[in-house]
């Protein structure tokens, strides 16, 4: 077993070299982040003036591991989608902002969206298909569950009137505009930054800022109460959010990938690699 400390900005370069040696085929390679390290050599290795700052480096193997795990279609993923949509449905019925925010936090839909962006940038058709499938199945299951429970509320008289005509706190869910696109685009960018950086605390803020899950829930609620205009508005909001999230994520990932490819090109043409 060989252990070594590598600056974050060099991790993917070293991993590529090790894979070329066949170590991943004949053995295994593991990576663990070093939270605290007191070392002048480490500080110098991670902050060379001609390179990006230490925190801006992307470890692509780490990104692939995260997205591969989050894009796998599983019962847990579908259940989280359904639960989040049902929480949002109740929020729509009683016009509660708190429940809408709670549903956004519970929703796991950003994982497949991020995975789709990574797949496009790295030209991974299998990962793109897996991400799209997980999101499509999860969305369909969430809408179906919302329709079923909304019909139950309607037929039992728990909420026979459905969402009111005046919903000052939740009417934005089915009324997409420029700001819907703008916020979702920024959220997609922030989500990718959280995914690819050493710190991921911003991801919760991304989930709260986008109305993907509430739009899915609104489609189900409106369909149960045969409000087709509301269904159309919520579907439009959902489409705007998904497109903007993907565009924002792709834009940021493309910049980061180009920086890595430039660094790899300089590395592979150096005298150390030749030796």
* Nearest Cα residue to 93 out of 156, 155, 146, 141: 146
Say which residues have a Cβ less than 8 Å from residue 162's Cβ, sequence separation at least 6: 93, 150, 154, 221, 224, 225, 227
* pLDDT value of position 132: 92
pTM: 0.81
Convert the pLDDT of each residue in 210-255 to its tens digit. 779 999 999 999 999 998 999 999 999 999 999 999 999 999 889 8
Convert the pLDDT of each residue in 4-33 to its tens digit. 888 887 888 888 888 888 888 889 988 888
Measured over all CA atoms, what is the biggest interatomic distance in the chain, rounded to whole angstroms? 78
Six-digit token string for 217 = 């829930």
Say which residues have a Cβ less than 8 Å from residue 40's Cβ, sequence separation at least 6: none
Does residue 202 register a pLDDT over 60? no
CA distance 88 to 224: 15
Convert the pLDDT of each residue in 62-75 to its tens digit. 887 777 766 778 89
CA distances from residue 88 to 55, 94, 220, 248, 264 in whole angstroms, order as listed = 36, 10, 10, 25, 45
Does residue 162 register a pLDDT over 80? no
Confidence bin at 54 (pLDDT 50/70/90): very low
* pLDDT value of position 218: 93
* Nearest Cα residue to 117 out of 241, 245, 237, 205: 245
């Amino acid at each position: 077993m060989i252990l070594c400390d590598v600056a974050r900005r060099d991790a993917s370069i070293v991993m590529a070299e090790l894979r070329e040696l066949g170590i991943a085929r004949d053995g295994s390679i593991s990576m663990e982040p070093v939270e605290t390290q007191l070392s002048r050599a480490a500080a110098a290795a991670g902050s060379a003036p001609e390179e990006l700052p230490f925190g801006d480096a992307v470890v692509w193997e780490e990104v692939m591991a995260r997205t591969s795990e989050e894009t796998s279609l599983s019962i847990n993923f579908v259940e989280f989608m359904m639960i989040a949509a049902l929480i949002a449905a109740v929020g729509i019925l009683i016009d509660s902002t708190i429940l809408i925010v709670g549903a956004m936090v519970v929703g796991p839909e950003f994982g497949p969206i991020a995975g789709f962006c990574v797949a496009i940038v790295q030209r991974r058709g299998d990962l793109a298909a897996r991400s799209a499938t997980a999101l499509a199945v999860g969305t369909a299951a969430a809408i179906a569950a919302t329709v079923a429970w909304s019909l139950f509320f309607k037929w039992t008289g728990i909420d026979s009137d459905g969402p009111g005509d005046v919903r000052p706190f939740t009417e934005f869910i089915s009324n997409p505009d420029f700001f819907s696109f703008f916020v979702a685009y920024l959220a997609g960018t922030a989500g990718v930054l959280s995914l690819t950086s050493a710190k991921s605390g911003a991801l919760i803020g991304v989930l709260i800022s986008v109305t993907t899950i509430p739009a899915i829930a609104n489609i189900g609620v409106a369909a149960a109460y045969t409000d087709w205009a509301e269904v159309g508005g919520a579907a439009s909001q959902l489409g705007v959010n998904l497109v903007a999230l993907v565009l924002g994520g792709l834009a940021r990932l493309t910049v980061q990938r180009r920086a890595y490819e430039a660094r790899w090109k300089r590395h592979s043409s150096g005298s150390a690699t030749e030796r």
